[in-house]
Chain A
C-alpha cells in the first residue's frame, strides 16, 4: 500500500478525532490530524468531520471539477483531506458518471456555469486509448495522436472558460504485455501505447500549460498492484484502488498548492546523524561516518547529494545544529568526502539554543516565512519540538536508515514544483550573497509546556557492575558536555565503587518517547568534612536543553547534604571541544572560587543558598544492585 510514510503516526488519533473542538480552533485541530499517517478508512472518517465543519471556519474553498472516466467516489475524501493537510479546502464537483465530455460543452452544465479554479482530468487507459491491439503501426500512431489531440481540445475548453488550472493524470500501466521485453516493438499493443501516450502527454501538456499528475512515475515506485486491482476494476470500475487513494489525493493537492506558491522553499538540515553518522563534536573529523565504502556512510552521502541537487534546482539549504560552530564548520571545510560545502548553505546556525528558536532565526535571516521550511532531523525529540512550537514547518519522519532519507523526502512532495525557472537555477548564489548581510528578528520560544508534556524521569544510581561498561564508554567518548575531560578506564571506575569517600553517579533519562539509557555521569570526592569536590560531570548532547543539568544538580545537592557537606566545588578544564560548558557552573548558581577565564577554574556552591529548580523532571533513585 502506498502509505504517507513521511507523516508521523499519532497513537491518540481516534480519541483526537472524537474530541475535535467546535470553536475556531477546530480548523487547526483538523489540520493537525490530517498531518498524521492514515489509511483510506481514517481519511474518510476525518473527511466526515471536515464536512461537519461550517464554512465560516477555515479558508474559502477552491472549486475543483473532477473529470473522471471511471468511478471516483473513493478519491474524494482523500482529495479533501490532502487539501486540509495544507490548510486548504476543496469544493469538488463530479459530473455524472461518463458525462464529463458532454458537460464541458453543454452551456447549461455546472462545469460551464460555475467558476472552477481547477480541472482535474482523471482519464484511465481504457478510456483514452482502448483495450485493442492495433496491428498496423501507422494506424496505431494515428489512433494515439487523434485521441491526444481530442484530449487537448478538452483542456482548452476548460482553460478558456475560466483560466483555470488544468491537471492531467498520466496513464497507469494496467495492460498486460503481448510480447514481453520486446513490447516496444509492437507499437499498437495497449501496453506500448500507454507508454507512448505518457511520453506524448507530457510534451503536449507543457505546450498547453497543463500540469501533469505523474501516476505512472508513482506506480513505478509502489508497483501497479498497490494502485490498481483488476478485480475491483471489473467489479466497480475503480481505476485507483481505495488503499492508494490517500496518496492519490496528496499527489493532486501538492500540484494545486504548488501553483498557489505553497510549496516549501528551504530545507533545514541537522548535521549529526542526518548529514553524517556520529557526532562531530565527540567523534571528531575522522570519527564521523561518511562515505568511505561503508553502507551507512554511503547512505549519508546519498542524502547530501540529494540535498545538493535540490539546491541546484532552487531549494535553499540551511543548517540547524546543536554543536559548537567551529566543530560544525570543520566538517564542511575539511572532510574530504563532504558533498555539501559551506557555500551551499544559505544560513548556518550552530549553537546550543533550542531548535525552535534557531528555526525562527533561520527564517528571519533568509527573509522567508517559517511555513516555507522543511526541517530534516534524525532526532524525534527535535522533530516533535518543532511540530509543537511551529506547526507550520513541515517535518518529515526520517526513517532509521539514511539510505531512505532521500526517497522519504521525495515522497513527501514538500518541494513540489510544477516548473523550473532561471531564477530557481540561480537562487543558491543569490542567497550566498545576502547571507552575511541579513540580521533577523528572533522571538524566544517558550518551551516549558513542551518539556512538561515529555513526562521526563531522571533515574539515578551509584556506579555498579551493571552500569560499569556504559559509564566507562560515556566517560571516554564524550567531548563536548564534559567539564574536565578526564578519562578513566574500567578498573579506575570500579575502584570508585569501593571507595567510601568517592562519589560516582550515573543518570538515565526516560521520557514518553524513549528510554535514552544512561546519558550522564558525575564523579567527585569528599576531600574534607564540609566540601564535596566534583571531579567530572559529563552528559550526552542528545538530551541538551531539557533541564537535565538542573535535575542532576539537585541530586548532587541531596548527596552532599546526606554527607553533611556545606559546599560543592566544581571544576572546569577547557579543551578544544568543550566550549559549550564554559558557563555550566555559573548558570547553575555557582560562584567563581579560583582560576581565571581561559584556564582551569573552580566554582563553588554554598548549600545554605537555594539552588536552581528542575521543574519538568521527576527524580527517582535506584537502590541496591
Chain B
C-alpha cells in the first residue's frame, strides 16, 4: 500500500481512537503531540492498525514505534 493510502486509513484510526475529527497526522507526530496518547491508547492504535491493515506487529516493532513516521514505514513494509 502507498504512503498516502496508509496515512488516510491511519488518520481515520487516530480520529476514532482519540475522538477528534480534526486530527492531522504528520511523520513527526509523537505521543507528546496528542494529550491522550498514553500506553493504553498506544496499544489500541497498534491493535486497530493490525486489523485494518491485516498485519501483525512483532515484539521489536511494538517497542520501537515512537512516532507516526515509524508506524507508517512499518505498515508499508508489512503490506508490500
A-B complex is real: yes
A contacts, CB < 8 Å to B: 1, 39-42, 44-45, 48, 73-74, 229, 231-232, 234-236, 238, 241-243
Q: Which 9 A-B pairs give the minimum distances between C-beta atoms?
A: A242-B47, A231-B59, A235-B62, A73-B40, A41-B16, A41-B48, A236-B43, A243-B47, A231-B62
Q: Is B13 a contact partner of A238 (Cβ separation < 8 A)?
A: no
Q: Is B44 a contact partner of A232 (Cβ separation < 8 A)?
A: no
User: In the complex, A39 Cα to B49 Cα: how many Å?
Assistant: 12
Cβ of B80 under 8 Å from chain A: no
Distance between B54 CB and nearest chain A CB, rounded to angstroms: 11
Distance between B14 CB and nearest chain A CB, rounded to angstroms: 10
Closest to B43 in A: A236
For A238, what are the chain B residues with a Cβ–Cβ distance below 8 Å? 43
User: In the complex, A46 Cα to B17 Cα: how many Å?
Assistant: 11
Q: A39-B51, A243-B51 are in contact. Are A232 and B17 (CB under 8 A)?
A: no
For B50, what are the chain A residues with a Cβ–Cβ distance below 8 Å? 243
User: Is chain B's binding surface mostly helix, strand, loop or mixed?
Assistant: helix
For A42, what are the chain B residues with a Cβ–Cβ distance below 8 Å? 16
Cβ of B2 under 8 Å from chain A: no
For B53, what are the chain A residues with a Cβ–Cβ distance below 8 Å? none
Cβ of B63 under 8 Å from chain A: yes
Within 8 A of A (CB), among B19-52: 19, 39-40, 43-44, 47-48, 50-51
User: In the complex, A240 Cα to B3 Cα: how many Å?
Assistant: 31
Cβ of B57 under 8 Å from chain A: yes
Cβ of B58 under 8 Å from chain A: yes
A45-B19, A74-B43, A238-B43 known, 15 other contacts, Cβ within 8 Å: A1-B51, A39-B48, A39-B51, A41-B16, A41-B44, A44-B44, A45-B16, A229-B56, A231-B58, A234-B59, A235-B43, A235-B62, A236-B39, A242-B47, A243-B50
For A236, what are the chain B residues with a Cβ–Cβ distance below 8 Å? 39, 43
Q: Is A232 a contact partner of B43 (Cβ separation < 8 A)?
A: yes
B contacts, CB < 8 Å to A: 13, 16-17, 19, 39-40, 43-44, 47-48, 50-51, 56-59, 62-63
Distance between B66 CB and nearest chain A CB, rounded to angstroms: 14
Closest to A245 in B: B47
Q: Is A231 a contact partner of B57 (Cβ separation < 8 A)?
A: yes
Closest to A42 in B: B16
Q: A1-B51, A231-B58, A232-B62 are in contact. Are A41 and B43 (CB under 8 A)?
A: no
With beta carbons under 8 angstroms apart, the residue of B17, B57, B62 that contacts A44 is: B17
Closest to A242 in B: B47
With beta carbons under 8 angstroms apart, the residue of A48, A74, A241, A243 that contacts B19 is: A48
User: In the complex, A73 Cα to B56 Cα: how many Å?
Assistant: 21
Closest to B41 in A: A44
Q: Is B17 a contact partner of A41 (Cβ separation < 8 A)?
A: yes
For B40, what are the chain A residues with a Cβ–Cβ distance below 8 Å? 73-74
User: In the complex, A41 Cα to B18 Cα: how many Å?
Assistant: 10
Distance between B62 CB and nearest chain A CB, rounded to angstroms: 5
User: In the complex, A48 Cα to B47 Cα: how many Å?
Assistant: 19
Closest to A17 in B: B19
Distance between B9 CB and nearest chain A CB, rounded to angstroms: 12
User: In the complex, A243 Cα to B19 Cα: how many Å?
Assistant: 18
User: In the complex, A48 Cα to B20 Cα: how many Å?
Assistant: 12
Distance between A290 CB and nearest chain B CB, rounded to angstroms: 39
User: In the complex, A217 Cα to B47 Cα: how many Å?
Assistant: 24
Q: Is A235 a contact partner of B63 (Cβ separation < 8 A)?
A: yes
For B62, what are the chain A residues with a Cβ–Cβ distance below 8 Å? 231-232, 235
Q: Is A74 a contact partner of B44 (Cβ separation < 8 A)?
A: yes
Distance between B59 CB and nearest chain A CB, rounded to angstroms: 4
Distance between B64 CB and nearest chain A CB, rounded to angstroms: 11
